[in-house]
Structure 1
Amino acid sequence: MGAAETEEVLFERRGHLGLVTLNRPQAVNALNASMVKAMLQQLAVWADDDTIATVLVRGAGDRGLCAGGDIVAIYKDMLHGGSRTADFWADEYRLNSLISRYPKPYVAFMDGLVLGGGVGVSAHGSVRVVTERTRTGMPETTIGFVPDVGGTLLLSRAPGETGTHAALTGAHLSGADALFLGLADYFVPSDSLPALAEALESSTAEAAVGRFAQGAPDSALAAQRQWIDAAYAHHDAEEIVRSLRAIGGEAAAAADTIEVKSPTSVKVTLESLRRVRGLSLEEALDQEYRVGLRCLAGPDFREGIRAQVVDKDRNPQWKPATLADVHESDVEGYFASLEDRELGLAALAAGH
C-alpha cells in the first residue's frame, strides 16, 4: 500500500508495521483538522487489521515530530467568530483517547520538537521514544491558553510538583526530562531511529526497541525537584511565585518566567492540574474542552497568538494584566458546564 491521499499525513504499510508520517515539515508538522481526521480514520482501520502488528508515528523533516496544533488557523477562526477550532479539538481529543486505548503497540518517535498537540499524538502511546534532540513541553501559557490534549492529566501524574512547574512555565524539556516526568519510556539516539523503524517492520515493538534503547542522560528537572516540590505545593499562583522568589536562583528565574505568561492562563492551568488528579483521560479531555472553549471566548488566547506568531512583537497585553487581578470567580467560570456543547468523551468511554 502506498501513501494515502492526503499529503499532509502519509500512511504506509511496511511488513507488519503501519507507518504514520506527519508531513508538514515546513510547519514542523503542526496538526490541522484534516490530518487529525485522517489519523482517526486510518488508526481505526489498522486496529481491526490482523496483518498490522504495530503502529509507528513519526515526523517528516529534521526539525521534530510535531510543534503542536496549527495556531495560525485557530487565530483566523477566532477573528471570524467561527466554530472550526471547537470541531478540530473535538476530533483531536477523540484521537488522543483512541491512541491511549489502542489495542496494538503504538510507537512514537518523539525526536526534535514535540510540543502541545505533538504531545497528544505521542505521549498517550504505549511505546514512547525520545532522543538527545528531543525538546518537548506544553508551552500554552505563553500564548494565553492552557495545556490540553490530555496534557493536564499527564503533567498531574509527574513526580511531586515537577509537572506543575513544567505547565506554568511552559518550559522546553529534554528527552531525559520527558522520561523523568513520565511522558516517555525509552531513550534511543536519533541516528538509530531509521534502523529502529526498519526493525519494527518484522520484530515485535518490545524486541525492536530493546535492541536500540540506551541509558538516558541525567534529567535537569529531576535535579531541581527539591525546590520545585517546595514552591509549587501551594494552591495559589501568587503564593507559588512568592515562594520561588524566596528560594532564589533557578527558582527566582522560574518566577520571572511565570510572571510574563498570561495571568489568567497561569491560574486556570494550576486549577486544571489540581482538578484533574485521579480522573480518567476522557474526563480530563472533557474538562480541557470546557476550558478551551472559554479561552476561545476570552481576550488572552487571541492576544497571545498575535504577539508570538502573527505580529511577533513578543509583547502581549494581557487582560487582566497581573495574577492579583485574576479572581477565583473568574477561574471558576472556565470549568462550568457547556450544557449541550459538552464533548462527552467520558460518557462515551463508559458506554463501551
Structure 2
Amino acid sequence: MLAAVLAVSVVVAIGLGATVVPPEETARYLWAALSGGRIGADEASTYQIIWQIRTPRVLLAALVGAGLSAIGVAIQALVRNPLADPFVLGVSSGASVGAVVVTVTGGLAALGVYAVSTGAFAGALAASLLVYAASSSRGALSPLRLVLTGVALALGFQALMSVIIYFAPDGEATSTVLYWTMGGFGAANWGALPLVGSVVVLGTAVLYRHARALDVLALGDETAASLGIDPDRHRRSLLVLVSLVTGVMVAVSGAIGFVGLVMPHLVRMVVGAVHARVLAVAPLAGAVFMVWADLVSRTLVAPREMPLGAITALVGVPVFIVLMRRRAYIFGGR
C-alpha cells in the first residue's frame, strides 16, 4: 500500500508547482522520457520542467526521506535511546561546518557546483571519526558514550559554524549557508541521484540483513552477548554505515531534522518492534512524508521557498509530543 501511495505521491508532486500539470499529463511526459517517445514542440518547455527540474528533485526527496527513516531506526537500536536520530552523533553538524568552510573560503572551487556537497561530506566523515575516537575505550563502544560524545561535538561544531559565519565577509554566502543548514532540495539534479540512490538502497539492505542483530542490541549488551552477538563489533560496523549514509544525504540535502526521529516511532506503533518489519516499512513511510514536505516547502510561499527543516519541524514536534503523551506507547513496542 505504501509503495502505491509513494508512486502516486511522486507523480502528483512532480506535476504541482508554479506550472501545474495534471497527473495524467505528468505520467505521459515521464513515460515519454523513459521510453524515448516524442513530445510536441509546443510542449517542450513543460516537458523540460517536468523531467529536468522537478523529477530529480522529487526522486531525491524520496531517497533522502527513505534513508533518514532507515538510519533513524538503526541509531535508536544502536544507542538504545528513543530520542536518537541520524544527527545525534554530530554527523550533521560536522557536515554543516564543512559546507560553511567551503562557502566562506571559496575552497574546492575546481569542483564547481559540487564544492559545497564535497565539503559537507568531508565534514561528516571527520565528525564521525572524532565521535568514534572520543567515545571508544579499549575497543568498546558504550551507547551512553556515543550519545554524550555526539551531543557534545554537535554543540561544538555548531559554535564553530556560528563563529565562521559571524566573521564571514560575504553576506550572500552567509544566507546561502543558513538556508543550506536547514535543508532543501533546490539544487537537486540528475547527477546526484545515482550516488545517493546506491548508498541509500545498499545501506537499507545491509541494515535489513542485520535486523536480528538490531533486535538483540536493543535489549542490552549483556543480553546480546548471551545470545552470541558481539555488541561492540556490530556497533562499530553499524556506526561506519550510519555515518556514511548520513554524510551522503546531508551533502545533497542539508540537515533535515525530525524525519529520522519520528518516523521509526510511528512505524513501530503500526507494525511492532521487530526490526525486520520496521525496516521494511519505515523507508517507504519516510519517502512519502518527505515528498509531500518538499512539495509544501516549494509551493506554500511561492515563488519563495521555505527551508525544508522548518516544515519537518512544524510537523515533527507536535507528532512527537503526542507520541510521548500516549501512555500506551513505549519505545520498542506498545
TM range (shorter): under 0.3
**Higher relative contact order at CA 8 Å, sep ≥6: structure 1 or structure 2?**
2
Structure with the largest fraction of strand:
1
Structure with the largest fraction of helix:
2
TM-score, normalisation: structure 1: 0.24
